[in-house]
Each structure stands twice: as C-alpha cells, then as structure tokens.
Structure 1
Amino acid sequence: MDVDIRKVSVNIDTVYHEHGPVQDPALRIGAAYAVVTNPFAGKYVEDLMPFMDALKPLGKRLATELSDALGGPDAVEAYGKGAIVGVEGELEHGAIWHVAGGWSMREVVGGKAIVPAAKTVAYTGYRLPIPLFHKEAAYVRGHFGSMEVGAIDAPKPREVLYGLVMATGGRIHERLGGLRPEDISEHDGQR
C-alpha cells in the first residue's frame, strides 16, 4: 500500500524552569507528526495489516528527524506515540501506529520500556496529549509527562495524524520520588 502524506511537522519546546531554579541543561521536548490520507475512511476493512507495514518507513523517518532535532538518539530519555483519526475513520486506524510508530521509534532511539500511547477519533484541529515514559523503564515516575500534538488544519475527516513525542529528560524540578534513572536495573524496562 502507498502512504499519501499531506504534511510533516517537527516541533521542539525548550523548558528552562517551572517557577523554580533554571535547569541546566534545559529540558527539550519534541513532537513529530505526519498527516496522511486514511485509505479506510468511510468503510469497514477487515485486514489493516498492509497499511501498518506501509507506515513503518514513515515511523522511522519521524523518529529519526525528531531524535536528530533533540541532539541524537543518545539524548532521548523519554518517548510516546499517538494518533488522531479524522471523523470518517475508526479508532483501529489509529491503533495501526502502535507497531508502525512505536517499534520504529525504539529502533531509532533504543529503549526497553513500553512506548505509551494515546489515540482518538476527532474533528479537524483537535489536539491530543501524548504521554511520555522513560525509554528504559516505565516506572521512572519523574519522566511521566506528556506533550500535545495537533494541527489547526488536520486531520481532515478522511485523514489520520500520526505522532511521536520524545524528551531529553524528566519533568523540570521533579521531586516526587520513585525509581530514579540511575537506579534502573536490567529488569525494570517492562515493569
């Protein structure tokens, strides 16, 4: 299957503080998304797997562009994925991104932890908060966060916006305990 890409975006936020001391280095949080035509809009199709496979190169492209914008794969500590399906599609069309986006991102930046996800069917202009987890251990509480992804002109009713988010660290001024990045063990990745 072909993937008809209407547009791609990469956005980076740099956060210096949250009303406390300036953090050095600053936290960098980024999102990359692509808006594509939904080949299943308006109809039920049983086999979605060919489109999932067709989206894998797009997942790798977005992951590479985003990690490069953040300083390279080694700079990335947290990640997440999400999809906004236009109103003529169904939630399963967003779930296609679990493998196409998630596995592609892990291939680019590494990581043992599950890639958290969010997906919805929504109107044009909707903004989706995508969760972030530490890429090596899902229970690193200080890396729980999110970044909003969306576009004023997308997704149109017959489109899907597929997004990835990454961060160079945990929340600014995190101080609520839990597993620390320096204490991650071999078996913490999937907990």
Structure 2
Amino acid sequence: MNVRKIVTVIEEIRTEGGRAVSPPATVAVVAAVIDNPWAGRGFVEDLAPGIEAHASGLGALLAPAVLEALGAPSEAYGKAAVVGLDGEIEHGSALIHTLKFGDHFRKAANATTLLPAVEKRGPAGVVFDIPLKHITDATIRSHHQSVEARIADAPHPHEIVIGLAAAAQGRPQQRLAALTSEQ
C-alpha cells in the first residue's frame, strides 16, 4: 500500500447557538491518501485480492491515529472513501466495507455498532461529509452528526482518500427527545 500522505483535522466547537459549549465539542478526522490498487486496470471483476492486501493495514493505520487525535474517548464514529476520477466508487467501498478495515476502529473505540459511511468519486479538493453515529447504540439521536472534510490536493485521479472520524460527544447543545419518545 502506497500512502502519499496522512491528513489530520481536529475541530473544536466552543460556542453553538450563542451559548458556550463546555467542555468544547471535539471531532477528529484522519485520512490517508493512497494509490488506488485497481485504477488503470479496466474493470476488475474480483476485488478480493486488493481488499486482502490493503483493508486491514488501512484500518490498523487510521484507527489509533484518529483516537489519538481526538484526545478523549470516542462516543461517535464514521468512515469515508473518496475515489479519484480514474477509479470506481466500488473501489473505495471495497476497502472500507469489510470487517478487515472496520474492526480495527470498533475494537480501538470499544464500539459495537456499524460504522456509518460515505463513498463518492471526485476530483482533488472535493468536499465530503463523514456521517457519525454513537459507537454502541445507533438510535441515540444526539450523536447523529457529520463532519465536513476536504484535502486540497487529493484524491489524484488514481488515488483514494480513506478517512475515519471520531467525536468525543454528541452534537453541541442537542435537545431532541430520545427516539423512544416516539414509539
């Protein structure tokens, strides 16, 4: 796996709705820009060899990095794959929609729920929103949020951006009733 660069972004929200957020709401994103193992090869029927070669290594690289960047236990998490224009969305999906990738994050965050995801294809600098949900209960509304990410020079046409996001809490100033209030 050729990693061209790793980008880390930490967002700290100190005020929301005109009121202080205390402690500040923190979200971290760590993304690796990698060569697309399938780009330039035409239609590849069997993606399994590439998944086997790359997915687990990406999860092992990114999971500890995003939790370290967050600097606190994660309560919400998500993942992303942004494929350059010479690839297919399926190439990104192949790398992130496997337990070989996601279980690294689940174990590191003591999580049990599925990781919400975004996959898309785009040019360098494309904006993508990583959806986040609670790490153990996807019905906890306060943790349904997203974080916007962008890497100015990635993905190149033959690259994929693979990212993980973690939040130390739910949305700042959340006040929606629990889902059980509607059942």
- State the partner residue of 1:6: 4
Check whether the contact 1:28–1:70 (CA below 8 A) recurs between aligned residues: yes
Match of 1:16 in 2: 14
2:105 matched to 1:105? yes
Query: Aligned letter for 2:29?
Result: A
Are the equivalent residues in 2 in contact too, given 1:60–1:101 (CA < 8 A)?
yes
Match of 1:83 in 2: 81
Tell me the residue number matched to 1:142. 142
SS of the equivalent of 1:123 reads coil
Deviates more, 1:27-36 or 1:62-71: 62-71
Name the CA distance, whole Å, in 2 between partners of 1:168 and 1:36.
27
**Cα distance in 2 between the residues matched to 1:179 and 1:125:** 37
Partner of 2:37: 39
Deviation at 1:151, TM superposition (A): 0.6
Residues 11 and 27, structure 2, Cα contact 8 Å, conserved in 1: yes
Q: Which runs of 4+ in 1 moved over 6 A?
A: none
TM-score in terms of structure 2 length: 0.90
Gaps of 5+ in 2: none
Give a deviation string over 1:86-123, Cα, whole Å, max 9, x none. Answer: 01100110112122442221121121111100101111
Whether the aligned pair in 2 keeps the contact of 1:125 and 1:153 (CA below 8 Å) is yes
Does structure 1 residue 151 correspond to structure 2 residue 151? Answer: yes
Residue aligned with 1:165, SS: strand
Q: Secondary structure at the match of 2:29?
A: strand
Q: How many residues align?
A: 176
Query: Which sections of structure 1, spanning at least 5 residues, go unmatched?
Result: 181-191
2: CA distance, partners of 1:9 / 1:128: 14
Could you tell me whether the CA contact under 8 Å between 1:149 and 1:163 is conserved in 2? no
Q: CA deviation at 1:171?
A: 0.4
Verify the 8 A CA contact 1:20 1:173 in the aligned structure 2.
Answer: no
In terms of fraction of residues, the more strand-rich structure is 2
Q: Aligned equivalents of 2:179 and 2:69: distance in 1?
A: 28
Q: CA RMSD in A?
A: 1.5
Please report the TM-score for the alignment, with normalisation by the length of structure 1.
Answer: 0.87
Residue 69 (str. 1) matches residue 69 (str. 2): yes
Equivalent residue, structure 2, for 1:114: 114
CA contact (8 A) 2:57 2:101 kept: no
CA displacement at 1:21 relative to structure 2: 2.5
Residue type at the aligned position of 2:3: I
Q: Is the 8 A contact 1:83 1:160 kept in 2?
A: yes
Alignment-derived partner of residue 127 in structure 1: 127
TM-superposition CA deviations, 1:162-183 (whole Å, max 9, x none): 0111100000000011159xxx
